[in-house]
Chains A and B, each alone.
Chain A
Amino acid sequence: MRKSLIERILTWIAIIAISVFSLFPFYWAVISSLKTPSGLFKIEYWPHSFEWQNYIGIFTEQPFGQNILNSIIVAGSTVILCLFVAVLAAYSLSRVEFKGRSALLLTILAVSMFPQVAVLSGMFELIRTFGLYNHWGGLTLSYMIFTLPFTIWLLTTFMRQLPRELEQAAIMDGASPWIILTKIFLPLMGPSLVTTGLLAFIAAWNEFLFALTFTLSSDARTVPVAIGLISGASSFENPWGRIMAASVIVTVPLVILVLIFQKNIVSGLTAGAVKE
């Protein structure tokens, strides 16, 4: 297909406009984070000097290092627990015929569409009963409500795509489902597990409502809550430099992950949402 010059120029203008619009806020956060509190009062589109005091400030004035550690522990444990139980469930849902299978899948899909606020008070009571209030364990537990359903869905979709012949021979030999799953399926599912795990990690890393409600002290908070509640060292100070520094720190690893695993993420987000 040949395109006219005008069409090509228009396409490029659109690409550049969309890219600038998508990336500018991040650029602005980076240059704002490198300014002094008084420098923030001047609007400059190019950075003139690099001040690191905001980056030092968030780690010395508040437990931001602890907050990052909390986020890593919560998101990491959510991913491990989710993948482990979801792989088992996905095997049953994709490879074994049983009564009520589609009803079960539909129920799991329905749970993933729950508004989180609908379970907030019940979850609050549950977490208090387990003694997990203000503890990362309470967040890992509560995050199952939105990570587990889509993890099961995704892995079921991926596992359905594996050829039937794979396990036929093994079933004839009398291999148990556990052997089939661990010895035959899992070695083939590396990319699917990476995709699913990554999406669960990002969802847990970014979660706000539960993290805000189920933690109390500043050193139990996860990163989104810490950033959401940041204030200056004193009420007279402009807190925006600190907020932007913290924002840049938590965003850079995510952006790098997205750049590396772009293909996986796209396949995960769209898997099954569109009929093949």
Chain B
Amino acid sequence: MSSHHALTARRRQAYLFLAPSLIILLLVAAWPLARTFWFSFTDATLSLDNVSWVGLSNFKNVLQDGDWWTSVYNTLYFTLISVSLETVLGLGIALLLHKSFAGRSLLRTAVMVPWAIPTVVSAKMWSWMFHDLYGVINDLLMKVGFISAPIAWMADAQLSRMAIIFVDVWKTTPFMTLLLLAGLQSIPTQVYQSAAVDGASAFRTFWKITLPLLKPALVVAVIFRCLDALRIFDLVYVMTSNSRETSTMSVYARENMIDFQDLGYGSAVSVLIFGFIAIFTVVYVMGSRVNLVGGSSEKVSN
């Protein structure tokens, strides 16, 4: 048997091994995506009977709806602020964990707990803590004298946006910390030693050495967080379920599709979200010039 033959046989087997995964992904990703695109040009309702083609009218209606633009604004606002805060905090905690000290494993365990708690559960826990009458946050703020009367956090759009960002920061900073810590640990220690020999200050070492070397890890961590933030659903749905003023793109899409049973219109929203996130990803990856494939990255949604 020639080695060429053996190689061909190996390739054939390789395709066979890939087949189950590819079939499943075609079934649950490619096909539903294609159907969603198709529905977006129809007047389909949730019952899926009597579907007929309506052209671009769903898209026209979505783009003329003020609530859609509110949800776009909310999503961008949420993404920008929460990812920025998570990056800064995550970097700070990662730098702290990177030093060797006694409390390191304790801290590492403590920050893992918010990550493990289901998003719905953290939304409920914090909703109770933010409760206007019996919430512990108002109580604490009043005790230290920051406020004189309880605040109705969830009654005001701007306050609830802040509360949602706060909970997201609490929950996802650990993810950021872990990715950045791994990045820090991959920087060779000799680099720091030579900086120390040159007498560079801690601040200068951070700006000139740590941050540039950490850039690949930062770029990957930030894109993962951005993609997660742009599709946020659970936190907003549970904390401020029916509020028009705080709804995000995903909440708006599902509301139209399922609650209002307007599957065609909701699908048009889905298509817009998909296009938006696809363009964002392409621009980001090209702009950051980090080779995602060579470095091989994985993503965990939670």
Q: Do A and B bind each other?
A: yes
- The interface of chain A, by Cβ under 8 A from chain B, is 8, 11-12, 14-15, 18-19, 21-23, 25-26, 28-29, 32, 40-41, 43, 84-86, 88-89, 91-93, 96, 98, 102, 104-106, 108-109, 111-126, 128, 141-142, 144-146, 148-150, 152-154, 156-157, 160, 171, 174, 176-178, 181, 199, 202-203, 205-206, 208-209, 212-213, 223-225, 227-228, 240, 243-244, 247, 250-251, 254-255, 257-259, 262, 265-266, 268-276
6 A-B contacts (beta carbon < 8 Å): A25-B122, A114-B33, A115-B277, A240-B134, A244-B128, A251-B116
Question: Told that A92-B15, A176-B13, A258-B112 touch, could you supply 9 new A-B pairs with CB distance under 8 A?
Answer: A19-B107, A22-B111, A85-B24, A115-B231, A181-B17, A224-B119, A243-B124, A266-B182, A275-B216
Min C-beta distance of A15 to chain B, whole Å: 4
The residues of B that contact A274 with a CB separation of less than 8 Å are 179, 182-183, 186, 216-217, 220, 295
Chain A residues with CB below 8 A from B15, complex form: 92, 98
Kindly list chain B residues whose C-beta atoms are within 8 Å of the C-beta of A125. Answer: 32, 35, 39, 48
Looking across the interface, which residue of chain B has its beta carbon closest to that of A101?
B14
Q: Mark B231-257, 1 if CB is under 8 A from A, else 0.
A: 101100110000000000110011001
How many residue pairs between the two chains, A and B, have CB atoms under 8 Å in the bound complex? 330
The docked-state distance in angstroms from the alpha carbon of A218 to that of B215 is 47
Name the distance in Å between A246's Cβ and chain B's nearest Cβ. 8
Assess whether A206 is in contact with B302, with CB atoms less than 8 Å apart.
yes
CB contact between A262 and one of B20, B112, B217 (< 8 Å): that residue: B112
Tell me whether B271 and A118 are in contact (CB under 8 A).
yes
Stretch in B96-104, B151-159, B204-212 touching the partner? B96-104
Interface hub of A126, A160, A270 (most chain B Cβ within 10 A): A270
Asked if B93 is an interface residue, CB under 8 A from chain A, the answer is yes
Task: Check if A228 sits within 8 Å of B178, measured CB to CB.
Answer: no
Question: Among A8, A32, A120, which residue has its beta carbon within 8 angstroms of that of B254?
Answer: A120
- Give the chain B neighbours of A152 by CB distance below 8 A: 21
Asked if B165 is at the interface of the complex by the 8 Å CB criterion, the answer is no
- With A and B bound together, what is the CA distance between A116 and B251 in angstroms? 12
Q: Is the CB of B298 within 8 A of A117?
A: no
Known: A88-B20, A276-B186. A206 touches B118 (CB 8 A): yes
**Chain B residues touching A, majority SS:** helix
A272 in contact with B298 (CB, 8 Å) = yes
B281 touches A (CB below 8 Å): yes
- Taken together as a complex, chains A and B put the C-alpha atoms of A246 and B254 apart, in Å, by 26
CB distance from A218 to the nearest CB of B (A): 15
Q: Is the CB of B298 within 8 A of A150?
A: yes
Known contacts A117-B231, A208-B233; A273 and B124 CB within 8 A of each other: no
* Contact residues of A: prevailing secondary structure: helix
The contact of A224 among B14, B44, B120, by CB within 8 Å, is: B120
Contact A153 B297 (CB under 8 A): yes
- Contact-residue bracket for chain B: 35 or more
Contacts of A102 in B (CB 8 A): 293
CB within 8 Å of A: which of B269-300?
270-271, 273-274, 277, 281, 292-300
**In the docked arrangement, what's the CA distance between A206 and B29, Å?**
20
In the assembled complex, the CB of B165 is this many whole angstroms from the nearest CB of chain A, namely 15
Contact between A144 and B28, CB atoms less than 8 A apart: yes
| B27 CB within 8 Å of chain A | yes
Give every chain A residue within 8 A of B111 (Cβ-Cβ): 18-19, 22
